Amino acid sequence: MIKLYHAPRTRSVRILWLLEELGLPYAVERVEFRPPEKHFFAQATPLGKLPTLEDGDVVMCESGAIVEYILERYGEGRLAPPPGSRERAAFLQWLHFAESTAFPPLGIVVWLTRYRSGSEPDAELLEDARSRARTGLDVLERALDGHDYLVGADFTAADIMMGFTLVAARVLGVLDERYPHLDAYLERLQSRPAFQKAIAVA
């Protein structure tokens, strides 16, 4: 059975959310998040990161890759357009945009405000990271104008990847009233029963 190392409010929520959407059996190994003050890979999981997934002898710790693996192995065509299709290209683009483009400046905000101890964050650096994070949100805001989801008319796993990024953006004060389409989109995602179940795993 799939085993997921999980701590609330970390990227492991993405994987719980996906497992719930697909109705797959899984076991949760709950770990306490350790703020990586000096070094990353500080988590009490086999690969030092959250999420970490074990499935037989497969061990992974990159949320986008884990999402693709679970869909390929257990998805039975759900939550993703068919490989090679035009929609698949958009799906892959958004799935990776969520972690590789939209998240990094948010990660700098987290690092400056939550992980570094002992000194006040540099205000200029912090504002620069926030402003760079907004450039990613601007792209998304335009993409969601007139659309309920990122790819076609249906919810896909790309929305799961992006949903976590947007929750983080909101918590960090970057996603605000400047983004009405993103606001409505996030509401839509957060009202899904599978999302609710994922965040209830405390």
> Which residue ranges make up the site for ligand GSH (CB under 6 A)?
10-11, 36, 40-43, 49-51, 62-64, 99
Judged by beta carbon, residue 41 or residue 85, the one nearer ligand GSH is 41
CB of 9 to ligand GSH, least distance (A): 8
- Beta carbon nearer to ligand GSH, 34 or 142: 34
Nearer to ligand GSH, 64 or 105 (CB): 64
Tokens linked to 41? 């890979």
Q: How far apart are CA 147 and CA 156, in angstroms?
A: 13
List the structure tokens of 173.
């004060």
Query: Measured between alpha carbons, how far is 103 from 82 in angstroms, rounded to an integer?
Result: 26
160 in Cβ contact with 14 (< 8 Å): yes
- The residues facing 27 across adjacent strands are 3
- 54: which strand partners? 3, 59
Closer residue to ligand GSH in complex, CB, 49/130: 49
Question: Can you name the residues that pair with 55 across neighbouring β-strands?
Answer: 58
Q: How far is the CB of 153 from ligand GSH (least distance, A)?
A: 27
Shortest distance in whole angstroms from residue 151 CB to ligand GSH: 19
Q: How many CA atoms lie within 13 A of 108 on its CB side?
A: 19
CB of 17 to ligand GSH, least distance (A): 13
Comparison of 106 and 144: residue with beta carbon closer to ligand GSH: 106
**Two structure tokens written together for 13:** 């929520």
Q: Smallest gap, in angstroms, from Cβ of residue 164 to ligand GSH?
A: 9
